[in-house]
Chain A
């Protein structure tokens, strides 16, 4: 069994490679848990019946803030101001996409933006939630 250390995840937001500012990355694929237990459940073995409901996938990424032109703040602020969809792509390693370096990609929209969020004396970081329009797809080959 391989032991993996997350040392250089590759993160692109709207095509811009922001990997060198990333301190945390979370790819969350989540579906609602819809209970389907029927009224006749007492006739059946005990246990809740359920199906997978609506998906609410999301990327959450923590960046070290940077106000330089074309870096974190300008990219995130512009996407928030535009209100448009954009692509977020994450791979665990900075390497070619493969079965052992899968790419998780989704079309996102920003609904919050907190460019300054911290205490005096702290490293200025920003935690950005990227809710996905649709679902996060997984790719295991490049150019797919």
Chain B
């Protein structure tokens, strides 16, 4: 999923020039539309890390292994 901005003079789908929107466009279509100045890629959203990875549970488990 990426955030795109409509930078051309024409709307893209229902998004007006200047609008930003999130979508998952096929790579070939994205390349075409970016190449001719219809869209620009504002940001690429990376998949969210699972909540458990941030908390203390996982760390605690590794630092205090069972039977160790």
Contacts and interface: CB of A to CB of B under 8 A. Distances in A.
Interface of A: 12, 14-18, 20, 66, 68-71, 74-75, 78-79, 82, 84, 86
Contacts of B37: 69-70, 74
Given A70-B37, A78-B35, A78-B36, A15 B8 contact: no
A108 to B, nearest CB: 13
5 contacts: A17-B12, A17-B13, A17-B14, A70-B10, A75-B38
B7 interface: yes
Interface residues of B, number: 17
B28 A71 contact: no
Nearest to B13: A15
Contacts, number: 54
Interface of B: 7-14, 25, 28-29, 32-33, 35-38
Residues of B contacting A: mostly:
loop
B7 to A, nearest CB: 7
Nearest to B36: A74
Given A14-B29, A15-B29, A75 B13 contact: no
Contacts of A69: 8-9, 36-37
